[in-house]
Amino acid sequence: MKFKTICFDKGKIKLLDQNALPLKLKYIICRNKNCIFKAIKEMNVRGAPLIGVVAAFGVALSAVKIKNKNKKVFLKKIYSSINFLSGSRPTAINLFWALERMRKILDKEKEKPVFYIKKCLLCEAKKILKEDELACRNLSIKGSSLIKNGDSILVHCNAGALATAGMGTALGVIYYAKSRGKKLKIYADETRPKLQGSRLTCWELQREGLNPILICDSVAATLMKKKKIGKILVGADRIALNGDIANKIGTYHLAVLAHQHKIPFYVAAPVSTIDFDINSGSQIPIEERNEDEVINFGNNRVAPRGIKVYNPVFDVTPAKFVSAIITEKGIIRPPFGNKLKKLKQR
């Protein structure tokens, strides 16, 4: 990709500020865990895989910053950083998965000298980043087998390079298919309320030479009825073992529409997005965000004062509407049965 979403450099982390896009390409610099927490919570960085990677580096950064050589103090601070960062956003499992990996390093190495533990934590964060890059690439290659030359694809939110440390998930599949010479027409939902579709997906698709057509979220049904959509391709924030999918609000209604119009509905996500501890989507915590996102459009207020707002930012698509889940370990089709569970061992 022509940009990096995250860079770690000698005690600071550079993050591409996604709240500034598409108008400005700028980076924010984080030098401590509070800054990382804020960047995740306020969505300067967002997208399930990227949140995990950033949180892992947040832990490594906290470790680097501790000057106290007392092991007990050091360990206590790092465990508490892990707990602190896990409170930044609730839905994407990748956050908890990455923090758990960091916690395991701490558990395993806690008898070793402080300098060594610091090194191990940084190595693990780098490993998580590399693995994400590779998972994106491999799932993109696999997923592109589902894409035909001339396909017309609807995407929702941003499941692209901006949401990962690599080439993206749903958009990665599109990029790979394009690189194999397939001509594609992409429709991008604007994705209210935070407009990840128009601000981020359209921005990155344009940079990669695809010329998406931006639509208001409510246009999707009309396009499907007119047979203008051949496939729907989305990412995921958490996948339950039965194949239920949590993704950006509005994904569920696309899946229902796809079912009605007999259009394949594909979900692309790395295995790190599967929650191996839950059997159904009803167990997924759904984040609710501030009313400001709904009552304002850009800098303009678009609702009367005193209005009550309900702003859940993810929904759960039942497995019965999912045509396939594209992962780096293979394409999983329904009935999902035990197939997702088995990916843990592969």
Give the shortest CB-159-to-ligand MRU separation in angstroms.
Answer: 4
- Per-residue buried b or exposed e for 241-263, using 16+ beta carbons within 10 Å of the residue's own CB: bbbbbbbbbbbbbbbebbeebeb
Q: Could you say whether residue 192 binds ligand MRU (CB under 6 A)? A: no
- The greatest distance separating any two alpha carbons of the chain, rounded to the nearest whole angstrom, comes to 67
Q: Would you give the binding string for ligand MRU spanning residues 62-101, x where CB under 6 A is met?
A: ------------------------------x---------
Would residue 237 show up in a list of annotated catalytic residues for this protein?
yes
Q: Binding to ligand MRU (CB under 6 A): which residues in 110-149?
A: none
Q: Could you say whether residue 49 binds ligand MRU (CB under 6 A)? A: yes
Judge residue 276's burial from the number of C-beta atoms within 10 Å of its C-beta, 0-12 exposed, 13-18 middle, 19 or more buried: middle
Q: Binding to ligand MRU (CB under 6 A): which residues in 313-342?
A: 313
Q: Containing H/E element for 9? A: strand 6-9
Q: Could you say whether residue 52 binds ligand MRU (CB under 6 A)? A: no
Q: Could you say whether residue 164 binds ligand MRU (CB under 6 A)? A: yes
Q: Tell me which of 151, 237, 275, 315 is the catalytic residue.
A: 237
Give the shortest CB-232-to-ligand MRU separation in angstroms.
Answer: 12
Backbone angles phi, psi at 38, to 5 degrees: -65, -40
Q: Could you say whether residue 159 binds ligand MRU (CB under 6 A)? A: yes
Q: Binding to ligand MRU (CB under 6 A): which residues in 201-260?
A: 235-237, 247-248
Q: Which residue number has the CB closest to ligand MRU?
A: 235
Q: Are 28 and 39 in contact (CB under 8 A)?
A: yes
- Residues touching ligand MRU, count (CB under 6 A): 17
Q: Are 154 and 254 in contact (CB under 8 A)?
A: yes
- Per-residue buried b or exposed e for 207-222, using 16+ beta carbons within 10 Å of the residue's own CB: ebebebebbebebbbe
- Give the nearer residue to ligand MRU in terms of CB position, either 125 or 163: 163
Give the shortest CB-314-to-ligand MRU separation in angstroms.
Answer: 7
Give the shortest CB-110-to-ligand MRU separation in angstroms.
Answer: 32
Q: Are 209 and 177 in contact (CB under 8 A)?
A: no
User: CA-to-CA distance for 59 and 125, rounded, in angstroms?
Assistant: 8
Token reading at 135 = 């998972």
Token reading at 29 = 């610099």
User: CA-to-CA distance for 189 and 233, rounded, in angstroms?
Assistant: 11
Residues annotated catalytic, as ranges: 237
Residue ranges binding ligand MRU (CB under 6 A): 46-49, 92, 157, 159, 163-164, 169, 196, 235-237, 247-248, 313
